[in-house]
């Protein structure tokens, strides 16, 4: 069976969304071997090309994008945070782009600043699992710090906890922060009540 036919068969059997590349080789007995893990040994050929790592934020605009749901639920549960809140923050911060970098240097899905990432023990801010874990852990810390006050939690996530304290435990009078709080709350409500418009 030729490689093109096998590639077509693999494309039909496996959905391309969320799939990395598929590599294959033929051994001395003529048996085909396939893997979705990038091989280190020689002899493998690309059967199905890897999806590009960069994801355009414009290409994913749905609030209820489910690509990272399993990681969101896992880390939200582990840190006692509402998964819908983690997802709403992710939507507002990076629009589900794991490679996003802000002008101020915030990185990844949850747009963690380098100091925050270090504080949350994040090793690779561009790794979705590591980034979401760090973001959920940080939201949990802010939840404890601001005693469950959603507006203050979000304001602190955007502007930093010190800014909230400086303004006597109120949302700082910063237009970007106030817009951010409104936007995340809107996404959060849509995720919590998907049937309402």
Distance CA 4, CA 112 (A): 43
Phi-psi region of 31 (alpha: psi -120 to 50; beta: other; left: phi over 0): beta
Angle (CA) 115-62-143 rounded to 5° is 40
Active centre residues (catalytic): 93
Question: What is the per-residue burial (b if ≥16 Cβ within 10 Å, else e) of 43-67?
Answer: ebeebbeeeeeebeeeeeeebeeeb
Question: What is the per-residue burial (b if ≥16 Cβ within 10 Å, else e) of 135-163?
Answer: bbbbbbbbbeebeebebbbbbbbbbbbeb
């Amino acid at each position: 069976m030729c490689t093109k036919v096998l590639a077509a068969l693999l494309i039909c059997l496996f959905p391309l969304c969320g799939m990395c590349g598929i590599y294959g080789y033929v051994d001395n007995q003529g048996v085909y071997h396939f893997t979705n893990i990038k091989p280190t040994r020689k002899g493998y050929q690309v059967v199905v090309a890897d999806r590009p790592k960069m994801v355009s934020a414009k290409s994913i605009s749905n609030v209820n994008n489910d690509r990272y749901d399993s990681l969101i639920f896992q880390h939200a549960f582990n840190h006692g945070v509402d998964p819908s809140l983690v997802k709403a923050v992710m939507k507002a911060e990076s629009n589900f782009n794991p490679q996003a970098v802000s002008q101020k240097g915030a990185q990844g899905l949850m747009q963690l600043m380098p100091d925050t990432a270090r504080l949350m023990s994040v090793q690779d801010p561009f790794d979705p699992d590591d980034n979401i874990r760090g973001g959920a852990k940080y939201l949990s810390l802010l939840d404890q710090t601001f005693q469950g006050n959603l507006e203050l939690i979000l304001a602190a996530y955007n502007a930093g906890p010190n800014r909230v304290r400086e303004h006597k435990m109120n949302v700082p009078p910063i237009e970007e922060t106030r817009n951010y709080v409104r936007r995340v709350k809107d996404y959060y409500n849509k995720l919590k009540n998907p049937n309402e418009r």
